[in-house]
Structure 1
Amino acid sequence: MSDKTQAIAAEVLGALSNVKQIEAFTRRAGGLSLDEAYAVTAALRNLRIARGEKPIGRKIGFTNRTIWDEYQVFAPIWGDMYDTTVQSGAKTLALAPFCEPRLEPEIFFRFRDAPKAGMDERALLGCIGGVGHGFEIVQSLFRDWRFGAADCVVGGGLHGAYVIGSTTPVPQNADALFAQLSTFEIEILRDGEVVDRGQAPNVLDGPLSALRHLVELLADDSNNPPIQAGEIVTTGTVTRAFVIKPGERWQTRVYGLPLDGLDITFA
Structure 2
Amino acid sequence: MTAMEDRRVDRLLGARDTGARLPRDPDLDLDAAYLLAAEVEQRLGERGNRRVGRKIGFTNRGAWDAHGLDRPIWAPVYDTTLTRCRSLSLGALPEPRLEPEIVLGVSRYPEIAWAALGVEIVASHHPGWRFSPAEAVADFGLHAMLVLGPQLPVDGLADVEVALSGPGFSTTGRGANALGGPRHALAALADLPGATPVADGEIVTTGTLVDPPWIEPGQRWTLQVAGGPELTVTTRP
Give the SS at the match of 1:6.
helix
Provide the residue aligned with 2:50 in structure 1: 54
* Whole-Å separation in 1 of the counterparts to 2:197 and 2:14: 27
Amino acid of the residue matched to residue 9 of structure 2?
A: A
* Whole-Å separation in 1 of the counterparts to 2:151 and 2:226: 14
Q: What is the RMSD of the two structures over their aligned residues, measured on CA atoms?
A: 1.7
Q: Is residue 59–residue 207 contact of structure 2 (8 Å, CA) maintained in 1? A: yes
Query: Which of residues 123, 128, 137 is equivalent to 1:153?
Result: 137
Provide the residue aligned with 1:95 in structure 2: 90
Which segments of 5 or more consecutive residues in structure 1 lack a partner in the other structure? 116-123, 171-176
Q: Displacement of 1:109 after TM fit?
A: 0.6
* Whole-Å separation in 2 of the counterparts to 1:8 and 1:225: 23
Find out whether 1:216 has 2:158 as its counterpart: no
* Whole-Å separation in 2 of the counterparts to 1:248 and 1:35: 38
* Whole-Å separation in 1 of the counterparts to 2:36 and 2:8: 7
Q: Is residue 74–residue 192 contact of structure 2 (8 Å, CA) maintained in 1? A: no
Which segments of 5 or more consecutive residues in structure 2 lack a partner in the other structure? none
* Whole-Å separation in 1 of the counterparts to 2:169 and 2:137: 31
Instruction: Classify 1:255/1:2 alpha carbon distance in 2 versus 1 (closer, same or farther; 3 Å).
Output: farther
* Whole-Å separation in 2 of the counterparts to 1:182 and 1:163: 20
Amino acid of the residue matched to residue 62 of structure 1?
A: F
Amino acid of the residue matched to residue 36 of structure 2?
A: V
* Whole-Å separation in 1 of the counterparts to 2:63 and 2:163: 17
Provide the residue aligned with 1:10 in structure 2: 10
Amino acid of the residue matched to residue 61 of structure 2?
A: R
Find out whether 1:195 has 2:170 as its counterpart: yes
Give the SS at the match of 1:39.
helix
Q: Is residue 71–residue 145 contact of structure 1 (8 Å, CA) maintained in 2? A: no
Q: Is residue 104–residue 242 contact of structure 1 (8 Å, CA) maintained in 2? A: yes
What TM-score, normalized by structure 1, do the two folds share? 0.83
Amino acid of the residue matched to residue 187 of structure 1?
A: A
Find out whether 1:128 has 2:124 as its counterpart: no
Q: How does 1:109-124 map to 2 (within 5 A)?
A: 109-113=104-108, 115=109, 124=110
Provide the residue aligned with 1:244 in structure 2: 215
* Whole-Å separation in 2 of the counterparts to 1:5 and 1:217: 22
Provide the residue aligned with 1:173 in structure 2: none
Give the SS at the match of 2:207.
strand
Q: Is residue 5–residue 36 contact of structure 1 (8 Å, CA) maintained in 2? A: no
Deviations 1:141-164 (A, max 9, x none): 101100000001000100011111
Amino acid of the residue matched to residue 90 of structure 2?
A: L
Provide the residue aligned with 1:226 in structure 2: 197
State the aligned residue count.
236
Provide the residue aligned with 2:158 in structure 1: 182
Where has structure 1 moved over 2 Å in runs of 4 or more?
1-7, 66-75
Report which of the two structures shows the higher radius of gyration computed on alpha carbons: 1
Deviations 1:22-75 (A, max 9, x none): 11222xxxx011000110111000000011110111000000122234444342
Amino acid of the residue matched to residue 230 of structure 1?
A: G
Deviations 1:163-217 (A, max 9, x none): 11012475xxxxxx1xx112121110014x6611112221111111111110222
Q: Is residue 66–residue 202 contact of structure 1 (8 Å, CA) maintained in 2? A: no
Provide the residue aligned with 2:235 in structure 1: 266
What TM-score, normalized by structure 2, do the two folds share? 0.93
Amino acid of the residue matched to residue 107 of structure 1?
A: I
